[in-house]
Structure 1
């Protein structure tokens, strides 16, 4: 039987994929890439060397993409084959990054007479390629070269292990009761989901898990303070040395090993620390610029955050008889205060945001902005019955596609993300369309009740679709810089955060909301309350994000890699400087901080705030011209979304906005007093 992974078409044949097919397919595809390179080096040129190599690597990427994806959304039987494939793929890319002969081809092309006459995407792919070769240790010799390669392979394994520990720890803990009074305060949607979770395990009653919807429902609504404490403790101690699972899935040694190897990589390249290595491929000029940005923003936000937490404590004491505000009280008390002040809650809004209506409304928003339509695909294989596939069309013609896996389930990685199935590129057969995965973890339908989203979940869907549009609306045909490829990591969040703004616009809200039973629009009184509450505790949220960003950056800017105990001390130090909420003694946030230990955000978590300056300022032009102004939408489409990584992110922003980025819009949108900040993302 032929192996379907050897020749993946545009859409993976998920119905034919089996775990045992992975290892032999990846081995063969890696071999093909290596042979293609050797053939291309015989007469080096763009056409002879880089074009066929891109074609071979595209087949490798399209084969490994569904394997990596299935490991994230199904885990279980896909873990071992994914890790085996990861070992082979990492080894290939590591060796390629140190291939001196290929590096010389890039150098020769960059110095050639025709280089200046090339179109920008091709030129950019060469320039970024040269940078990436240098960051891959192409200039190293002997033992240093071998050590760098070995470290790269080991880092890939450790990142996967870190993520596995977090997933296993999350899945392993549950809390079961047959006494519904223990769950008093939980909304009906959460109770139904807990009952369904219990039934799935063959249990009577209700089952609370650490999956996002279940955890958040308890922390926000459960009147049972002891339950909140127990669930909170289990969540914040996941994959660590403490808490109810202490030591069982402990990431302490994994974390230490990752930090040690990252520091070694940077040192081998002559850099002081991993932060310097990370910034070599980002917008920010240097570590000082990042720290100045974060510290100045913290200085402005912390007074407001202190005021918000003081208000919360006073309300807890005076109105709720909670004398000592604990970490497991924060969300619950905050929800009570929000309801008192604005007479609004996420649960009151939930019936007006049925998933199907939000999704169709999102598509309408995007059509108005960028003149593209969305059409559900038919007879397309997926990995789960909940998953949908859609085509993106322009003037009736298919230009891209995406899978949407929206709902939480067991053995599925938490959070939300966008990933690549295939990139837009020219092939011998014609244009290959960009295809994306969009993944969320919303509460699924239970019985006759459809999936109902909180407004926070609505913004999550818009956020991930913004990432998807960045990938899918590209007009660049060189794979290395099409879509999100080649985009500076501290700019890659801009389109996603940008699209979130429409979740707060009355015109757009009318498109994405309707009561799931009656079809009635969101009442004006609820809309006004929702908008009035937009910046409720926004300063507390801001300093929390700054806590994570400062911790991450200072962790990787350290002169020497830290041990687990020192990592905790650093986090405690950062919290002392910027945090305002109480922290439980069992809190081991770092042990489950997958963004920096199992994702691409190491020494780059600051990107969320950095890119938010760009996204807020970009949206301010729509505020000036009209939120559905077609001319402004086309301007954003042509200058940002279509360009991918073909040009410098700051240059693209300036082309769109007509000036350098300004932080005023971010401060205004966040409700933080506007003061002059000594920062610039340029």
Structure 2
């Protein structure tokens, strides 16, 4: 088996055409076994005189081999069924290995001995930074605990993993159990064509006529924001805002969140922290908990006047429309209607000018203009699905790595999702060999319909540009150390900066007009037309900011005060009130589907807002010097992206700006007070 297993014998990129289900688990098990044996040899050989090459780089090479294989397998989860089961087993095996490795006290002692040796004291600053990161990782993984305490920690880790799986099971169960079959097209008045087409396709897939609404973001938000039929809006809103909720505690994600918070709290205290917030900020190199809470409190204060004004405007507008009171399912619809003008572009008109091919060409051009990157599509690179596109990435005639773009929604992908896999980290091994980076971009764009190509809404554009920013960040790192090249080590605010920054181009009317092209005629949108369209969207962003604040406050509250006796439902309600978001009705469970808290953003969701402040300020320099200015792009690369996780992101941001960070651009765009 092993000699024929393509996951064990490859240069860098996997030949997916040769991979079978039976290859997955044996490959990961073999690599883990090899790693255990290699670590034993390293400990024995390095015991007297540990060195950088034979200790640090040797162990990094083991990590790289396992991670590269694991993240190459990860896209196979999307095939569902037995593939998903096998890939999930691989993930669990690898994570268990890494937990065990980071608790290896003999290995940690060698790192510590190296750091204080003459050899270690003469290392360059990046190598010393890598060593300090290693010490922190081992401490936060429990290497300093007693054997009994480590056994307890392993049990808590398993409990947390089981609860995270339960969250997804509950969310999937509740989402799959509801759908609404529409036979009267009049009920869909006001909905964009693309959403009606998707609903018709969903019905056809079930052997039904008419239209089928399922609990997916695009369809549900289209109904809630656009449907003229108020009863339809209510039906969909009630179902969508109760995903993950159940009267049975075992199936209720509120109960899951509480159990998760309790287990995480116990884990943090076992590791010597007061609460999980303190632990996670230390683990991710974030700011101090007090600084984070002060940031959110200040931002909350600044949003209140605008939110109160908007609420009064909606109430006045509702009365004009003959609504004596505003129900929850009216709010988003009224916001759309209040700011709608007869001459405004419709969402269908905008979408028609951004086919997937047009957008990918724009991304390739943007990377070339800003960073001198050349992205060349190579059809001979094997992929995990025929719809995936693969690119070689070059800069200054040197091959940096590879980019996969898996953009189209299909069975197995969570609808409306978008994410990035960092398949391989750039690094140089002990023999001086250069290992190239590889990243994979995933979105769930609605497939081609009725002969039309896949077309992107403005939200789709923002998701694609966001994930492309993550990929570029990864590909542009210039550190030679495997772990310093991992941009995920930048902490909650730092990790999201690149994604948030690249979203800003989607809010430039000049840029969007320049890349737009109607899929039938080739005609471009005009700047004034797009400015009006973007102005309408921007006016709705402040209420969305309030919801993001509520999520961040809930996250910190849950993980900072897990045992104060309040229920998750009460915590959510408190967070919405504190953030000034629209008050919740008794039936609403808006955060029971909050999957970020089981996907790595627990006690760190505030990072999205933190990164937004960075991104707006970074983008202000592009606004001043030109959105496609290559000198500005090269400066961004040199000052922020190139050093990966070798230094805090704020240092890089301020080096690029040549001044201290300012929240003013962020506040101005949202119409908030700077006082």
Q: Same fold (TM over 0.5)?
A: yes
Whether 1:105 aligns to 2:110 is yes
Q: Which runs of 5+ in 1 are unaligned?
A: 676-682
Q: For residues 136 and 38 of structure 1, do their structure 2 counterparts lie closer, same or farther at Cα, with a shift above 3 Å needed?
A: same
Distance, in Å, in 2 between the alignment partners of 1:82 and 1:257 is 26
Distance, in Å, in 2 between the alignment partners of 1:282 and 1:205 is 49
2:16 pairs, out of 11, 14, 17, with 14
2:230 pairs, out of 218, 225, 233, with 225
1:40 pairs, out of 39, 42, 56, with 42
Distance, in Å, in 2 between the alignment partners of 1:477 and 1:67 is 25
Report matched runs for 1:572-587 at 5 Å. 572-587=573-588
Distance, in Å, in 2 between the alignment partners of 1:536 and 1:152 is 43
Distance, in Å, in 2 between the alignment partners of 1:561 and 1:9 is 53
Q: Secondary structure at the match of 2:567?
A: helix
Which structure has more RCO (C-alpha within 8 Å, separation ≥ 6)?
1
8 Å CA contact 1:342–1:533 kept in 2: the answer is: no
Distance, in Å, in 2 between the alignment partners of 1:536 and 1:180 is 30
8 Å CA contact 2:576–2:582 kept in 1: the answer is: no
Report matched runs for 1:560-639 at 5 Å. 560=563, 566-596=567-597, 598-639=598-639
Match of 2:94 in 1: 89
Q: For residues 397 and 510 of structure 1, do their structure 2 counterparts lie closer, same or farther at Cα, with a shift above 3 Å needed?
A: farther
8 Å CA contact 2:492–2:606 kept in 1: the answer is: no
Q: Secondary structure at the match of 1:581?
A: coil
8 Å CA contact 2:379–2:389 kept in 1: the answer is: no
Tell me by how many angstroms 1:413 deviates.
2.4
Distance, in Å, in 2 between the alignment partners of 1:254 and 1:178 is 37
After superposition, the C-alpha distances for 1:366-418 in whole angstroms (9 at most, x for unaligned) are 21111112221213333333322222221344312222122333431242111
8 Å CA contact 1:94–1:153 kept in 2: the answer is: no
Tell me by how many angstroms 1:22 deviates.
2.4
Match of 2:504 in 1: 501
Using the size of structure 1 for normalisation, the TM-score is 0.93
Name which of structure 1's ranges 529-538 and 661-670 shifts more when overlaid on structure 2.
Answer: 529-538
After superposition, the C-alpha distances for 1:422-453 in whole angstroms (9 at most, x for unaligned) are 11122458322111121112222112112221
Tell me by how many angstroms 1:247 deviates.
6.7
Match of 1:182 in 2: 187
Tell me by how many angstroms 1:168 deviates.
4.4
Distance, in Å, in 2 between the alignment partners of 1:26 and 1:333 is 53
Match of 1:52 in 2: 58
8 Å CA contact 1:305–1:537 kept in 2: the answer is: no
Match of 2:433 in 1: 430
Match of 1:655 in 2: 655
Q: Secondary structure at the match of 1:398?
A: strand
Match of 1:353 in 2: 354
Tell me by how many angstroms 1:34 deviates.
0.9
Name which of structure 1's ranges 54-63 and 251-260 shifts more when overlaid on structure 2.
Answer: 251-260
Distance, in Å, in 1 between the alignment partners of 2:182 and 2:16 is 38
After superposition, the C-alpha distances for 1:47-69 in whole angstroms (9 at most, x for unaligned) are 22222222222221122223333
Report matched runs for 1:485-500 at 5 Å. 485-500=488-503
Distance, in Å, in 2 between the alignment partners of 1:561 and 1:34 is 42
Distance, in Å, in 2 between the alignment partners of 1:193 and 1:457 is 15
Tell me by how many angstroms 1:546 deviates.
0.6
Match of 1:165 in 2: 170
Name which of structure 1's ranges 369-378 and 383-392 shifts more when overlaid on structure 2.
Answer: 383-392
Q: Secondary structure at the match of 1:381?
A: coil
1:458 pairs, out of 461, 464, 486, with 461
Distance, in Å, in 2 between the alignment partners of 1:454 and 1:212 is 13
Q: Which runs of 5+ in 2 are unaligned?
A: none
Tell me by how many angstroms 1:200 deviates.
2.0
Report matched runs for 1:394-543 at 5 Å. 394-414=395-415, 415-427=417-429, 428=431, 430-543=433-546
Distance, in Å, in 2 between the alignment partners of 1:341 and 1:201 is 37
8 Å CA contact 2:439–2:471 kept in 1: the answer is: yes
Distance, in Å, in 1 between the alignment partners of 2:7 and 2:34 is 13
Tell me by how many angstroms 1:485 deviates.
4.3
Distance, in Å, in 1 between the alignment partners of 2:107 and 2:289 is 31
Tell me by how many angstroms 1:573 deviates.
1.3
Match of 2:201 in 1: 196
8 Å CA contact 2:245–2:254 kept in 1: the answer is: yes
Distance, in Å, in 2 between the alignment partners of 1:535 and 1:673 is 16
Whether 1:317 aligns to 2:319 is yes
Match of 1:680 in 2: none
Match of 2:154 in 1: 149
Tell me by how many angstroms 1:355 deviates.
2.0
Name which of structure 1's ranges 43-52 and 123-132 shifts more when overlaid on structure 2.
Answer: 43-52
Q: Secondary structure at the match of 1:207?
A: strand
Name which of structure 1's ranges 192-201 and 8-17 shifts more when overlaid on structure 2.
Answer: 8-17
8 Å CA contact 1:540–1:580 kept in 2: the answer is: yes
Match of 1:678 in 2: none
Distance, in Å, in 2 between the alignment partners of 1:215 and 1:13 is 38
Distance, in Å, in 2 between the alignment partners of 1:18 and 1:169 is 32
Name which of structure 1's ranges 442-451 and 294-303 shifts more when overlaid on structure 2.
Answer: 442-451
